[in-house]
Amino acid sequence: MLATVYTGQLRACIFFLVVLLAAASTSAFASSSCDSRTEDCVAIGEWRLGIGVGLGVRTNPVVEGDNLPIVLIPEISYYGERFFWDTTQIGYNLVETPRHSLNALVTLGLDYMYFRDWSMGNFVIDGAAGHMTFTPAPTLRDTDENDSNDIGAVGQGISTDQGINNPNPGDKDGPNEFFHSSQWLRPVTQEPSPSVIQLDKRRMAALAGLDYSFYWQGTVLGLQWLQDISNVHHGQEVRLGVDHRWAFAGSRFGVAAGAVWQSHQVADYYYGVQPHEVLAAGEVSYAPGSALSPYVRLDWQHPLTQHWSLQATLHHKWLDRRISRSPIIDSSGSTSIFVGGFYHF
């Protein structure tokens, strides 16, 4: 099934404006019948605060990019009659029934985190339905990513046997230089020589759009259509996922799977190589085009006291082959792991 999702193509065009920034997470709008704070329910008009402390890491698929430590995971949420704020997600509920929820929201595109030493990526775990969530193991229910040419030529390609070396591995906040192997370039009758790429700074994008959820017992089907409203890459994302949760022997478990579709503007901006970023004459730029990246996530949560619980999360995302073929990418995916305790105030 993942193979079918991985090779399929989604096309979407969405435009919906809201204001302020946020990061997406699969969360249901608080039910009006919820009048007390519990693990599965957030009372309307009440703040919910928490923080996770433990050991975690997110592997970095960027060439010579450092893996991202995940040690602290904050959580803050508020649900009003319509307006809600869930850590870094701000939204407004448009439709709410026992089975359906439709929200307008703003969120953050976090692909930029692979190019920074410290960013929001150090404090989040990819969530269900392709969303971002600050809680390693979400409750059972708060209410119950145009094909372009693979390679764009800028002169003739030069093959090389040179290895990969990043002369500035600790400064991913600014432009980096990547001396990379030109394994995807067309060979010519010249002596091999290393190519040099100096990347522009990749910036975080603010996204706005629609968030739809369908609930059935312990299963949530989530879909988001998002558009860049920050003029960073002018692209779109479609996030789709299924999240199932259940309780057993005093613990809670969760399994989720889905995919994130990104338009060519998004994938080209973060994972492509623009002509002006190629410093060596005779090298080539790279444009991935639209990309579809599937993922899976596993969660475990075990309450210890009224405030403390143990939690563990494993998340893996397979990068679309168009992204993994980029000369600045040296991995086919990214894995996130977090194990620790979570305290609810």
Lowest model confidence (mean pLDDT) among 84-98, 122-136, 269-283 = 122-136
**CA atoms within 13 A of residue 252's CA, in its CB half-sphere:** 20
Which CATH architecture does the domain made up of 2-146+203-259+292-344 adopt?
Beta Barrel (2.40)
Structure-block tokens of residue 303: 């309450």
- Please check whether residue 177 is in contact with residue 166, taking contact to mean a CB–CB distance below 8 angstroms: yes
Report whether pLDDT(314) > 90. yes
Distances (CA, A) of 122 to 16, 17, 339: 29, 28, 14
Mean pLDDT for 45-61 is: 90
| Of residues 284, 259, 59, 253, the one with CA closest to residue 139 | 253
> What pLDDT score does 344 carry?
86
Q: CB within 8 A of 4, min separation 6: which ones? A: none
Of 30-39, 70-79, 304-313, give the lowest mean pLDDT range.
Answer: 30-39
Domain boundaries, the chain: 2-146+203-259+292-344
Give the position of tokens 């209410």.
143
Q: Are 304 and 276 in contact (CB under 8 A)?
A: no
% of the chain exceeding 70 in pLDDT:
67
pLDDT recorded at residue 165 = 34
Task: Say what the pLDDT of residue 163 is.
Answer: 34
pLDDT tens digits, one per residue of 182-227: 333 333 323 223 357 888 999 999 999 999 999 998 899 999 999 9
Residue 138 confidence (pLDDT) above 60? no
pLDDT at residue 52 tops 50: yes
Give me the sign of the Cα torsion angle 192, 162, 156, 332: positive
Whether the CB-CB separation of 167 and 63 falls below 8 Å is answered with: no
Give the model's pLDDT for residue 281: 60
**Total length of the chain:** 345
User: Can you read off the two tokens belonging to residue 251?
Assistant: 């613990």
Q: Report the distance separating Cα 51 and Cα 65, nearest Å.
A: 27
Q: Which residues pair with 132 in a beta bridge?
A: 126
How far is residue 96's CA from residue 116's CA, in Å, rounded to a whole number? Answer: 38
pLDDT-derived band at 291, boundaries 50, 70, 90: very high
Average pLDDT, the chain: 74
- Round to whole Å and give the CA distance between 51 and 67: 22
Residues 152-169, mean pLDDT to the nearest whole number: 33
Give the residue from 224, 253, 244, 259 showing the smallest Cα distance to 314.
Answer: 253
In DSSP terms, 125 is beta-bridged to 133
pLDDT, mean of residues 288-302: 96
Residue 141: what pLDDT?
A: 38
In angstroms, the CA 241 to CA 133 distance is: 14
CB of 42 closer than 8 Å to CB of 79: yes
Task: Please enumerate in sequence order all residues whose Cβ is within 8 A of that of 305, keeping only pairs 6 or more positions apart, or say none.
Answer: none
Percentage of the chain lying above the pLDDT 90 cut: 48
